[in-house]
Structure 1
Amino acid sequence: MVANLGGQPIFILKEGSTRTRGRDAQSGNIAAAKAVAGAVRTTLGPKGMDKMLVDTIGDVVITNDGVTILKEMDIEHPAAKMMVEVAKTQDDEVGDGTTTAVVVAGELLKRAEDLLEQDVHPTVIAHGYRLAADKAQALLKEMAIEIKADDIEMLKKIADTAMTGKGAEAAKDKLNELVVKAITMIADEDGTVDTDFVKVEKKVGGTIEDSEIIEGVVIDKERVHPAMPKKVEAAKILLLNAAVEYKKTEVDAEISITSPDQLQMFLDEEEKMIKGLVNKIIESGANVLVCQKGIDDIAQHYLAKAGILAVRRVKKSDLTKLARATGASVISSIDAIDTGELGKAGMVEEKKVGGEDMIFVTDCENPKSCTLIVRGGTEHVVDELDRALEDALRVVSVAVEDGKFVAGGGAPEVELSLRLREYAASQEGRSQLAIEAFATALEIIPRTLAENAGLDPIDMLVELRSEHEAGNKTTGLNVFDAKPEDMLAAGVIEPLRVKTQAIASAAEAAVMILRIDDVIASSGSGGPSPEEMAAMGGGMGGMGGMPPMM
């Protein structure tokens, strides 16, 4: 970037920096964003395909999940990174609909490009898009149908829709049941659902059908000592966040021992200390000890003698789940153990799952925490199952929290498109062009569903439009029979928040990218220094271009 002052050039940016302005900057950013949307577009819908991602060290991820694909891809272009943010936001807020959000954002930018060529100013387009997004939110709320937390059949259909098109489809009836059971089990009385209390434990081996729900907590650990009981009934569980080891001094201290009997006394004293700690645990009446830190070898011996089943180095998150499931408190000091703070469970036992020992804490009185054990033939299958389950769990929890859902299969998008066109006609000025562009952009969802199923997108869209114009608001695309169908009757439904969040974040990202008219990229530090370039013969000053897109 150079300023000219009386014929004397003044360098403002450091050498090698590049600046792209005006239409060039806009078209560059839009092209990058469209390329990201194009990358995930083929994964949308029940007939969407999967992507295989291989990283620098050769690890393979096979997935259909939009946000996973974008996170795994090494994206460099700044505008493309904004699209990844859209997917991440959607994933954090709702857990599903990531591909929808990115595809809609890409299409909004594509439509904006056509308007820019007709000399419509970017801020006019941005204003129109904001109006359209607000109107779309209001229309979606009108379309929404209420759902109760105890409507198990409807919740299963919501889980079913979230899993369709993913690797879990083969056994989705079984998995839907597990998901809905898990969410209804952990839901609080006030309707809030924290999916952190559903633990998903992956184990390679067996088939998808072997997946099961444990009403309680499963810890991927084994007993610390073989002499301990494998099974404890009517368990009193002590959750300890302190080490069962002798205390080491905080300050540097030296003990000078001058004779062998002093050394023996020192060792005896250490053992006595540990025995004292174990006795406090025994006196509390606990017969199961779950410890977040270490358990000394001598302590293990005494605990085993007392018939206590102990587990060590358990994750903090597992302790929290155990506390919720058994009604125990996590105790931070052995001196502060109180019998009233112990948890209760009908059964604690060590079982083998997929060749590994795991501790099962089950038969709790009111387990507000549970574990899903996911099984599958290979690691890739299990990982993709895990992602599908996470999506389904989040979606069902959102439906329970909000109590609202809409039809799926492209039905809300076609309906919104029609209503927004009517709304555009009521607006004045050029912003109505932007609202129309927004309406057209939303049709990318049914179009993509049709394309991914190998159907003619134009024929399908025309049929869908005529159905909606006739007042059939819940008609979407049945990609299996290649015809419009009432999605409500077919059981293809999604939580309202999936749609509202996708449209809101897509519109925000599109507006943000549209408003950029100047990209100033400082030179990457990875390139040669000016001195090196001079030594190489100069003439290479134009190399510090935009970073590569992907």
Structure 2
Amino acid sequence: MAQRMGNQPMIVLSEDSQRTSGKDAQSMNITAGKAVAESVRTTLGPKGMDKMLVDSSGGVVVTNDGVTILKEMDIDHPAANMIVEVSETQEDEVGDGTTTAVVIAGELLDQAEELIDSDIHPTTLAQGYRQAAEKAKEVLESKAIDVTAEDRNTLLKIASTAMTGKGAESSKDLLAELVVDAVLAVADEDGIDTENVSVEKVVGGSIDNSELVEGAVIDKERVDENMPYMVEDANVAVFDGALEIKETEIDAEVNVTDPDQLQQFLDQEEKQLKEMVDQLKAVGADAVFVGDGIDDMAQHYLAKEGILAVRRVKNSDLKRIARSTGARVVSSLDDIEADDLGFAGSVAQKDVGGDERIFVEDVEDAKAVTLFLRGGTQHVVDELERAIDDSLGVVRTTLQDGKVLPGGGAPETELALELRDFADSVGGREQLAIEAFADALEVIPRTLAENAGLDPIDSLVDLRSRHDAGEFGAGLDAYTGDVIDMEEEGVVEPLRVKTQAIESATEAAVMILRIDDVIAAGDLSGGQIDPDDGDDDMPPGGGMGGGMGGMGGMGGMGGAM
């Protein structure tokens, strides 16, 4: 890029740089965002389709989880990545609703494109979109339904709704029970941390064989065959150290001139190791979990004392064992006391799907639990884990906020009506942006209908008429095609799923719309979604604009989608 000063051109950017400005830049970025949204749109709802994602090394992921799809797609375009960030924010904040957030963001961009073509300034659009988003959140919060931790039935419905259409359909009632029990178990005065719910996947058996273990399950074995397989009514020690002789921190040489001296060294080491084991025995430990190694001689003495020991346990697992048994993690055996020990009715090594694991269970007040997920194939249990993660997130969010909304496109249809009324009270061109926002929200019920094989126009007309009549809970039953009361049917989701989706989608759309100049340091004309997929046959698109023309290659994902 060159600017002229008098008759002398002044070079500002390097020759390799590219610049796209004005409507070309806006159009390019809008196209990128819309392409990302379109790639996950068919996965929305209980009848959404799955995507098969094949990476460059041949690894396969089959899923309809929005955030997983977008992460696996390896998107390079900067504007497209802003939409991907919407799904990641949604996942981090709520745990579900990632596809909803991305689809709304894409539709907001689509509606904006039409207004920009009609010479509505992007700043006006941004202002109108923000006003609409604030109003939408107010409306949803005023109409939300209150829920408490005692309302188990509603919590089960929320857990079940989050899993619908994600490979767990046949067993969602059982899994919903397990999820609600798990979240309620780990709740304490500090809140709810779902990190304390460990999910273990086992290939083999059916989904119905999945179970909740109130306690910790460690993917380890006891260190010595002579140790007991099972210890009942066990006092549990958790030691974040090593049952080994520490090496000196400085290099030193010891000259041995007599075999007796060597034996004295060995005897001294053995004595130190025995003292360590004696310390554990003295405080009454029946099982010990060690963060580092255990010397062979220490293993011998532990087995001799009938103590079950496990070594090289991950720090996160040590914390979960301590949390579930009530033990304290100690870093020095010199300071260990009986009060530092936890209690478990059973510490045992068991075979699960051909793998040996240590079960720490039958605890008095499990504040850390383990969900065992079973399935016929690896793909099944992987998708099941994603469904469970979503479900854990929405149950946690519901207990934190105490507010839920009906599903089935009911909130979006209501918001569209409310925002059109609100637009009439807003002066200036922002009114057009608010109306566009209302139209954009209706993409959710419309997509639910399309994915269920229903007529989207008929479904939308039915939904609008029921909401006009004051039925806030009226939503689309994707199985029958009828408009029903979603609250009565038990299809509900946390308030924050919707408010966060609207907020994130709006911010991303506004940020993209406000960009009128794209200056790239290098050549982006080969804008493939997956640069490693070996498909370099895309025609050059004429600079950066053409690079995003290649966003059409997104649907291909190297032939995977």
Aligned counterparts of 2:254 and 2:456: Cα–Cα separation in 1: 83
Residue by residue over 1:171-213, the C-alpha shift from the partner in whole angstroms, topping out at 9 and shown as x without a partner, is 11110110111111122257x2111111111111111111000
Compute the RMSD of aligned alpha carbons: 1.6
Moved more, 309-318 or 78-87: 309-318
Instruction: Name 1:167's counterpart in structure 2.
Output: 167
1:228-268: CA deviation from partner (whole Å, max 9, x where unpaired): 01111111000000000001111222222233332222222
What's the % identity of the aligned pairs?
62
Contact 1:289 1:310 in 2 (8 A): yes
Conservation of the 8 A alpha-carbon contact between 1:90 and 1:96: yes
Instruction: Tell me which residue corresponds to 2:344.
Output: 345
Counterpart CA distance in 1 for 2:71 and 2:252 is 50
Aligned to 1:2: 2
Q: Equivalent residue of 2:168, what SS?
A: helix
* Pairs within 5 Å for 1:424-463: 424-463=423-462
Alignment of 1:104 onto 2:90: no
Corresponding position of 2:248? 249
Aligned to 1:72: 72
For 1:318, the equivalent position in structure 2 comes to 317
Q: Distance in 2 between matches of 1:24 and 1:400?
A: 47
Given that 1:126 and 1:511 are in contact with CA atoms closer than 8 Å, whether structure 2 keeps it comes out as yes
**Residue 13 of structure 1: CA displacement?**
1.4
Assess if the C-alpha contact under 8 Å between 2:525 and 2:547 holds in 1: no
Q: Is the 8 A contact 1:451 1:457 kept in 2?
A: yes
Structure 2 residue 385 is matched with structure 1 residue 372:
no
3-state SS of paired residue (1:383):
helix
Q: Tell me which amino acid in the other structure corresponds to 2:129.
A: Y
Structure 1 stretches of at least 4 aligned residues deviating more than 4 Å after TM superposition: 524-527, 542-550
2:303 equivalent in structure 1: 304
- 2:297 partner letter: I
Residue type of the alignment partner of 2:451 = N
* Worse-superposed segment, 247-256 or 518-527: 518-527
**Equivalent residue, structure 2, for 1:54:** 54
Aligned to 2:179: 179
Q: How much does 1:4 deviate?
A: 1.7
Q: Which amino acid counterpart does residue 114 of structure 1 have in structure 2?
A: E
SS across alignment from 1:102? helix
1:28 aligns with 2:28: yes
Paired position in structure 2 for 1:468: 467
Q: Which amino acid is 2:229 matched to? A: K
- Partner of 1:89 in structure 2? 89
Deviations 1:25-76 (A, max 9, x none): 0000000000000000000000000011111111111111000000000101
Distance 1:467 1:367 in 2: 46
- Work out the CA distance in 1 between the residues paired with 2:15 and 2:2: 10
Confirm whether residue 125 of structure 1 aligns to residue 125 of structure 2.
yes
* CA–CA distance in structure 1, aligned partners of residues 212 and 415 of structure 2: 39
Residue 18 (structure 1) aligns with? 18
Aligned residues of 1:45 and 1:449 also touching (Cα < 8 A) = yes
Deviations 1:443-463 (A, max 9, x none): 000000000011111111011
Distance 1:225 1:285 in 2: 20
Amino acid at match of 1:151: D
1:531 is matched with none
- For the residue of structure 1 that corresponds to 2:471, the secondary structure is coil
Unaligned runs of 5+ in 2: 527-539, 555-561
Helix, strand or coil: the match of 1:167? coil
In the alignment, the residues of structure 1 paired with residue 55 and residue 547 of structure 2 have an alpha-carbon distance, to the nearest angstrom, of 23
Instruction: Provide the C-alpha distance between the structure 1 equivalents of 2:263 and 2:57, rounded to a whole number of angstroms.
Output: 53
CA distance in 2: counterparts of 1:434 and 1:147, whole angstroms = 34
Distance, in Å, in 1 between the alignment partners of 2:524 and 2:94 is 38
Q: Give the letter for the 1:16 counterpart.
A: D
Query: For 2:236, what is the secondary structure of its paired residue?
Result: strand
Give distance in 2, aligned partners of 1:457 and 1:45. 14
1:201 equivalent to 2:200? Answer: yes
Q: Measure, in 2, the Cα distance between the counterparts of 1:487 and 1:173.
A: 18
- Give the structure 1 partner of residue 559 of structure 2: none
Q: CA–CA distance in 2 between the matches of 1:316 and 1:483?
A: 51
Are the aligned partners of 1:409 and 1:446 in contact in 2 as well (CA < 8 Å)?
yes
SS in 2 for 1:89: helix
Amino acid at match of 1:4: R
Q: TM-score, normalised by structure 1?
A: 0.95
State whether residues 96 and 162 of structure 2, in contact with CA within 8 Å, keep that contact through their aligned partners in structure 1. yes
Q: Does 1:267 align with 2:266?
A: yes
- Cα gap change, 1:9/1:268 in structure 2, threshold over 3 Å: closer, same or farther? same
- 1:10 is displaced (CA, Å) by 2.2
Query: Could you say which residue in structure 1 is the equivalent of 2:532?
Result: none
SS state at 1:43 partner: coil
Match of 2:225 in 1: 226
Q: What is the CA–CA distance in structure 2 between the aligned matches of 1:450 and 1:321, rounded to whole Å?
A: 44
CA displacement, residues 69-127 of structure 1 (integer Å, 9 cap, x when unaligned): 00000101000000110000000000000000000000000000011011000000000
Aligned to 2:137: 137
- How many pairs align? 536
Aligned to 1:293: 292
Residue 483 of structure 1, CA deviation: 1.5
Aligned AA (1:43): T
Deviation per CA, 1:413-451, whole angstroms, max 9, x where unpaired? 000000000000000000000000000000000000000
Amino acid at match of 1:69: I
Query: Do the aligned residues in 2 keep the contact of 1:287 with 1:309 (CA within 8 Å)?
Result: yes
Q: Is the 1:3–1:12 Cα contact (8 Å) retained in structure 2?
A: yes
**d(CA) in 2 for partners of 1:247, 1:316:** 20
Instruction: Give 1:226 deviation, angstroms.
Output: 0.7
Contact 2:245–2:273 (Cα < 8 Å) also in 1 = yes
Q: How much has 1:546 moved relative to structure 2?
A: 4.4
AA at the equivalent of 2:74:
D
Partner Cα separation in structure 2 for residue 546 and residue 276 of structure 1: 69
The answer to whether the 8 A contact 1:346-1:364 is kept is: yes
Residue type matched to 1:465 in 2?
R
Matched, 1:39 2:56: no
